[in-house]
Amino acid sequence: MDFELDDVQRDMQAVVRDFLKERSSEEAVRVAMDTPSGYDPDVWKQMAEQLGLQGLIVPEEFGGTGLGYVELGAVLEEMGRMLLCAPYFSTAVLAPTLLRLLEDAKANAAYLPGIASGSIIATVALTEDGGAIGEEAVTLRAEPTADGWRLTGSKNYVLDGHTADLLLVVARSAGGVSVFAVEGTATGLVREALPTMDQTRKQARLTLADTPAILVAAEGAAWPAVDTMLDIAAVMLAAEQTGGAQRALDLAVEYAKVREQFGRPIGSFQAIKHMCANMLVRVESMRSAAYYGMWAASELNEELSTVAHLTKSFCSDAYMFVTKEMIQVHGGIGFTWEHPAHLYLKRAHSSKVLLGDPAFHREQLATAIGL
């Protein structure tokens, strides 16, 4: 079985790469990450209207392009390469994946068209103050009322939670774990942007006090969909990590070719050669793992959960390794604010813990296989 991208997928990836080189340059990233919203609205609009990126996995009947997770992963690889500063992962990966898995026709019709058009920024609010991931960790309360549902509690580390128009909140009702749609302007909702080490990926803490919400799908039956969403999201994040690691390797190699010591490029020294070779092995291994995971996600097969844990844990560690080695190759300049090296190192750190760190995923894998 061939797990390489086909010609059409490579062409699509090339178009996205060219777009991001122009609209997500280092200068553009630095400008966007210093804004409260964390993105450029004009770029966001272009992504939706000209490239259809927000609707990649949204079915055509809801205004999307109806593609799959292989294509989405290929796009995320390019976004990771250029450190796109935008609410893309939350809006185009987490939210539509969860909505599709929940199979609520009314909710899909209400929200997916807006996501695909770029008019709705959406996210999933799952983790709470402890940061734990799991069905038992969901404690935010949902109570039925005469006119719908009300939510009380808090969510933390919510991607783009301070700017999202639509919050898919995972809460616990009398029937079990359910998903509720909450408008970003809902009464009783307080949103606090969090200070983050990785300024290119915004997070927020949400406090809900008797906040009105709409139940999505059946009450108490949402956790299998949330769990599968987490597996798919882990694979998609690994694809993004692969792109970032590739760019870090490219920066190291480019610098090793032009930086001279003792009258010769430092890339000619064996120690630097070994460092770059080790980085290359990590990057190619990441790509192999991510592409296999993308295939498993597109098939929604029985391997997905196992592959997701393996892929996320390996790619997180490998991305950290590559970015650290990149900084070592650069020497002193790699530690400066002016050089982009720190942006990739910080993204590697944030991606490592997002959706569970490597230790968490290895523990989940060990439990799944009975160790």
**Does residue 200 surpass a pLDDT of 90?**
yes
CATH number of the domain located at residue range(s) 123-221 in this protein: 2.40.110.10
State the pLDDT confidence band at 32, using cuts at 50, 70 and 90. Answer: very high
State the pLDDT confidence band at 2, using cuts at 50, 70 and 90. Answer: low
Summarised one tens digit per residue, pLDDT across range 108-155 is 999 999 999 999 999 999 999 989 999 999 999 999 999 999 999 999
Q: Report the 10 Å Cβ neighbour count for 26.
A: 12
Q: How high is the pLDDT of residue 261?
A: 87
Summarised one tens digit per residue, pLDDT across range 313-348 is 999 999 999 999 999 999 989 889 999 999 999 999
Task: Answer whether 112's CB lies under 8 Å from 143's CB.
Answer: no
∠ CA 193-195-200, nearest 5°, is: 90
Of 248, 346, 26, 342, give the one whose Cα is nearest residue 256.
Answer: 248
For residues 179-208, average pLDDT: 97
301: phi then psi, degrees, rounded to nearest 5: -95, 180
The rounded distance, in Å, linking the Cα atoms of 290 and 315 is 8
Task: Answer whether 348's CB lies under 8 Å from 320's CB.
Answer: yes
First to last CA, the chain: 29
User: 């408008």: which residue's tokens?
Assistant: 183
The rounded distance, in Å, linking the Cα atoms of 167 and 180 is 8
Tell me what percent of the residues of the chain surpass a pLDDT of 90: 92
Task: Answer whether 197's CB lies under 8 Å from 171's CB.
Answer: no
Q: How high is the pLDDT of residue 371?
A: 80
**Does residue 1 surpass a pLDDT of 60?**
no
Distance of CA 78 to the CA centre of its chain: 13
**Does residue 370 surpass a pLDDT of 90?**
no
∠ CA 117-123-129, nearest 5°, is: 170
285: phi then psi, degrees, rounded to nearest 5: -70, -40
For residues 195-202, average pLDDT: 96
Summarised one tens digit per residue, pLDDT across range 235-294 is 999 999 999 999 999 999 999 998 878 989 888 899 999 999 999 999 999 999 999 999
Would you list the domain boundaries of the chain? 7-120, 123-221, 224-368
H helix runs in 217-303, sequence order: 223-258, 270-299
State the pLDDT confidence band at 172, using cuts at 50, 70 and 90. Answer: very high
DSSP state of 221: B
**Does residue 203 surpass a pLDDT of 90?**
yes
**Does residue 36 surpass a pLDDT of 70?**
yes
Decide if 123-221 and 224-368 have a common fold.
Answer: no
Q: What is the CA radius of gyration of the chain?
A: 21
Quickly name the fold that domain 224-368 has: Butyryl-CoA Dehydrogenase, subunit A; domain 3 (1.20.140)
215: phi then psi, degrees, rounded to nearest 5: -70, 130
List Cα–Cα distances, 114 to 62, 127, 161, 335, in angstroms. 9, 25, 17, 42
Tell me what percent of the residues of the chain surpass a pLDDT of 70: 99
Mean of per-residue pLDDT scores for the chain = 96
The rounded distance, in Å, linking the Cα atoms of 353 and 38 is 20
State the pLDDT confidence band at 76, using cuts at 50, 70 and 90. Answer: very high
Both structure tokens of 175: 């029937």
List Cα–Cα distances, 100 to 84, 87, 96, 110, 295, in angstroms. 25, 19, 6, 12, 18
The rounded distance, in Å, linking the Cα atoms of 199 and 114 is 26
Q: How high is the pLDDT of residue 358?
A: 96
Mean pLDDT: which of 8-12, 87-91, 258-262 is highest? Answer: 87-91
Kindly give, in sequence order, each residue whose CB lies less than 8 Å from that of residue 214, ignoring residues fewer than 6 positions away. 107, 148, 149, 180, 181, 182
The rounded distance, in Å, linking the Cα atoms of 336 and 321 is 19
Identity of residue 247: R
State the pLDDT confidence band at 190, using cuts at 50, 70 and 90. Answer: very high
Distance of CA 320 to the CA centre of its chain: 16
Q: How high is the pLDDT of residue 267?
A: 87
The rounded distance, in Å, linking the Cα atoms of 315 and 245 is 9
Coil, helix or strand for 206? strand
* Angle, helices 358-368/304-330, rounded to nearest 10 degrees: 150
Least confident of 81-95, 113-127, 181-195, 326-340: 326-340
State the pLDDT confidence band at 4, using cuts at 50, 70 and 90. Answer: confident
Architecture per CATH, 7-120: Orthogonal Bundle (1.10)
Q: Where are the beta strands (DSSP E) in the chain?
A: 122-125, 141-145, 148-159, 166-173, 176-183, 189-193, 203-216, 260-261, 264-265
Of 85, 80, 82, 109, give the one whose Cα is nearest residue 96.
Answer: 109
**Does residue 90 surpass a pLDDT of 90?**
yes
